[in-house]
Amino acid sequence: MISKIFQSEYLKRLDNIKQWAEIDTFKEESVSQHSYKVVIFGRILLEDIFGFNKDPKILSFKLACIDAFMFHDWDEALILRDISHETKYNQFNGSVIRSVLNDLSRHIALNEFFEPYNEDEKASSPSSDMITFNIIGQTSDVKLICKLADWISLCFYMKREMCLGNRGIYEKWIYSKNEVQHSLDAVKNMLKSRFVGYDLNFNELDNLILNIYGEAKEANND
């Protein structure tokens, strides 16, 4: 599988597909750049939450999350575009659009990344299963963590744009900082339910929310 990825167009596409194409920005950000930030923020937040705990249950969950961070936007390499959040979540037919895009991503992923295992034409290889699972089938709990890291990365980008003087992005910033709060609340509830009896620390994430809200207020005053 690694030879297939090395010789293929997927990583090139992630470099070339630009986010925020529908709005004016000072700094372009590719899907690859965004995904790297998601991995960084997500990886660190896992340590902030779980600390030094090496329980196999926690380590297994961390690995699943890290896989999800890395592959969370690979569907865009398959459908060849970054579809805007407003389009995918519009009130008229957003759910239909998401369903069609998910079906298309699933179809392409299963065909593109299938690799026979041990000369068995029906059994797929571990790397094949890992990639397809992270594109089309991750668990809902892991998706919640990944979405939080995704929103944090988006806020990071928009903060940078506002620091450069992009006032046109302010409304998206307000929307995103509210989504970070909602996402964090969902993650907290999920982790408290999944890891009953474990020591979970949300102080750093709570501090981040306060920081994001403070900067949103400051940007509005400016």
Helix extents (H) in 80-169: 85-88, 94-112, 126-136, 140-163
The pLDDT, as a whole number, for residue 221 is 56
Task: Give yes or no for a contact between 24 and 168, defined as CB atoms under 8 angstroms apart.
Answer: yes
- Write the single-letter amino acid at 57: K
pLDDT grade for 177, boundaries at 50, 70 and 90: confident
Q: Which two tokens stand for residue 31?
A: 């899907």
The pLDDT, as a whole number, for residue 46 is 98
Q: Which two tokens stand for residue 26?
A: 């000072």
Residue 120: which H helix or E strand, with range? strand 120-124
CA end-to-end span of the chain, whole Å? 51
Q: Counting beta carbons within 10 angstroms of the beta carbon of residue 215, is it exposed (0 to 12), middle (13 to 18) or buried (19 or more)?
A: middle
What's the pTM value of the predicted model, to 2 decimals? 0.92
pLDDT grade for 222, boundaries at 50, 70 and 90: low
User: With 60 as the cut, is the pLDDT of residue 217 above it?
Assistant: no
* Mean pLDDT across 185-201: 97
Please state whether beta strands 116-117 and 120-124 pair in parallel, antiparallel, or not at all (unpaired).
antiparallel
Task: Give yes or no for a contact between 148 and 187, defined as CB atoms under 8 angstroms apart.
Answer: yes
* Contacting residues for 148 by C-beta, under 8 A, at least 6 apart: 42, 45, 180, 183, 184, 186, 187
Task: Give yes or no for a contact between 149 and 41, defined as CB atoms under 8 angstroms apart.
Answer: yes
SS percent in the chain: helix, strand, coil, step 5: 70, 5, 25
The pLDDT, as a whole number, for residue 48 is 97
Distance of CA 120 to the CA centre of its chain: 33
User: Radius of gyration of the chain from Cα atoms?
Assistant: 19
